[in-house]
């Protein structure tokens, strides 16, 4: 039974309180009635998240958590006491504990922070920490390479760009002069590794690089023309700001994408805009 993780278990027996689910070793966990449907029966498979409830019992839920063990997420502080803070992690009736010893900087109710979740060795319970140094770093090596598509969590902003956590494990940077759509702290999105330096710095982009980027952006441009009713009022004379606001891409990428569509006779273009070819 893997506490802190989403897993598929089997209905072992039915009780007045809900379904008892079992793993391959026949360990049991209760899925309370409020998460049970009338159609479920012994032998059915159920995908659940396993955690300790407010009475410290191992419990299953079909609620989708905002974080699982070994991952990082941007969570909101909903309460505090003398022992620590409590975070909304998407599980009804139970908040995620952030002990005082795991806090870095001031923790304010109502604010959100990037936290890592682990299962405590002593209590077996899910615990959060926003002291990320031991879990998120580029110290010895990085596990991603140039060109790879990665999961990123945006956690801070600076004059040059946004610092992001890459694959729940490393730090990377998204540069503002390469971002052509709104980006917010706490946003989780896909990005592409553009460079890994000798000192293990990871540079990121929200767009693919090279011909693949142009090919994808050409399809994005074509879809935008179709969505506009077959005529999109953009041209070579459009400003970079207009292109960014309408398409979320640079003027250079727009021109290259338009060139691809023109060469394949999918659109025509003049001063009034881009038109689909019927």
Residue 27: give its domain's CATH number.
2.40.50.140
- How far separated are the first and last CA of the chain, in Å rounded? 58
Tell me the C-alpha distance between 20 and 76, whole Å: 32
Q: Tell me the residue range of the domain where 76 lies.
A: 72-129
Tell me the C-alpha distance between 119 and 23, whole Å: 19
Q: Are residues 96 and 111 in the same domain?
A: yes
Spatial neighbors of 72 by CB under 8 A, at least 6 apart, are 114, 115, 116, 117, 132, 135, 136, 153, 165, 168
pLDDT at 177 over 90: no
Q: Are residues 201 and 172 in the same domain?
A: yes
Q: Are residues 199 and 184 in the same domain?
A: yes
Q: Are residues 91 and 124 in the same domain?
A: yes
Give me 270's structure tokens. Answer: 């003049």
Q: Are residues 214 and 201 in the same domain?
A: no
Look at residue 269 and tell me if it is in a domain: yes
Using only C-alpha atoms, the chain has a radius of gyration, in whole angstroms, of 24
pLDDT at 175 over 70: yes
pLDDT at 211 over 70: no
Look at residue 49 and tell me if it is in a domain: yes
Tokens 């023109």 map to which residue? 262
Distance of alpha carbon 108 from its chain centroid, rounded? 23
CA geometry: angle 225, 229, 231, nearest 5 deg: 55
- List, for residues 89-112, the tens digit of each pLDDT value: 999 989 999 999 999 988 999 999
Longest dimension (CA), the chain: 72
- The whole-number average pLDDT for the span 57-84 is 96
Give me 4's structure tokens. Answer: 């802190």
Look at residue 186 and tell me if it is in a domain: yes
Indicate the pLDDT class of residue 210, thresholds 50, 70 and 90: low
Q: Are residues 87 and 108 in the same domain?
A: yes
Look at residue 66 and tell me if it is in a domain: no
Question: What CATH number should be reported for the domain holding residue 263?
Answer: 1.10.10.10
Look at residue 158 and tell me if it is in a domain: yes
Tokens 């449907």 map to which residue? 37
Q: Are residues 17 and 33 in the same domain?
A: yes
Indicate the pLDDT class of residue 15, thresholds 50, 70 and 90: very high
Tell me the C-alpha distance between 124 and 22, whole Å: 18
pLDDT of residue 213: 65
pLDDT at 37 over 60: yes
Q: Are residues 24 and 57 in the same domain?
A: yes
Q: Determine whether 22 is exposed, middle or buried from the number of CB atoms within 10 Å of its CB (0-12, 13-18, 19+).
A: middle
Give me 135's structure tokens. Answer: 């879990």
Look at residue 134 and tell me if it is in a domain: no
pLDDT of residue 242: 87
Look at residue 139 and tell me if it is in a domain: no
pLDDT at 258 over 90: no
Contact predicate 220/171, CB 8 Å? no
pLDDT at 275 over 60: yes
Contact predicate 65/49, CB 8 Å? yes
Q: Which of 188, 205, 222 is the last residue of a domain?
A: 205
CB atoms within 10 A of CB 170: 23
Look at residue 142 and tell me if it is in a domain: no
Better-scored residue on pLDDT, 258 or 59? 59
Q: Are residues 198 and 162 in the same domain?
A: yes
pLDDT of residue 38: 86
- The whole-number average pLDDT for the span 228-247 is 87
- List, for residues 121-152, the tens digit of each pLDDT value: 999 999 999 999 999 999 988 999 988 999 99
Q: Are residues 214 and 197 in the same domain?
A: no
Domain total in the chain: 4
pLDDT of residue 171: 98
pLDDT at 217 over 90: no
Q: Are residues 214 and 269 in the same domain?
A: yes
Q: Are residues 51 and 89 in the same domain?
A: no
Tell me the C-alpha distance between 73 and 89, whole Å: 9
């Amino acid at each position: 039974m893997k506490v802190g993780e989403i897993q598929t278990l089997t209905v072992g027996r039915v009780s007045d309180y809900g379904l008892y689910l079992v793993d391959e070793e026949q360990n049991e966990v209760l899925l309370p009635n409020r998460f049970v449907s009338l159609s479920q029966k012994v032998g059915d498979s159920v995908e659940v998240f396993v955690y300790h409830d407010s009475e410290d019992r191992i419990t299953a839920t079909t609620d989708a958590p905002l974080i699982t063990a070994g991952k990082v997420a941007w969570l909101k502080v909903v309460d505090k006491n003398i022992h620590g803070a409590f975070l909304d992690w998407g599980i009804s009736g139970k908040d995620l504990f952030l002990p005082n010893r795991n806090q870095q900087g001031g923790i304010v109710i109502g604010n959100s922070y990037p936290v890592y979740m682990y299962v405590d060795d002593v209590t077996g319970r899910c615990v959060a920490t926003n002291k990320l140094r031991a879990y998120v770093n580029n110290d010895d090596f990085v596990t991603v390479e140039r060109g790879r598509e990665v999961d990123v969590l945006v956690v801070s902003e600076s004059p040059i760009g946004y610092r992001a956590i890459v694959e729940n494990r490393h730090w990377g940077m998204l540069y503002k002069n390469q971002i052509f759509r709104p980006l917010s702290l706490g946003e989780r999105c896909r990005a592409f590794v553009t460079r890994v330096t000798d000192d293990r710095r990871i540079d990121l982009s929200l767009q693919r690089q090279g011909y693949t980027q142009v090919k994808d952006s050409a399809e994005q441009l074509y879809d935008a023309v179709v969505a506009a009713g077959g005529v999109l009022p953009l041209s070579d004379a459009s400003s970079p700001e207009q292109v960014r606001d309408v398409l979320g891409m640079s003027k250079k990428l727009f021109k290259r994408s338009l060139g691809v569509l023109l060469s394949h006779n999918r659109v025509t273009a003049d001063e009034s805009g881009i038109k689909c070819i019927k």
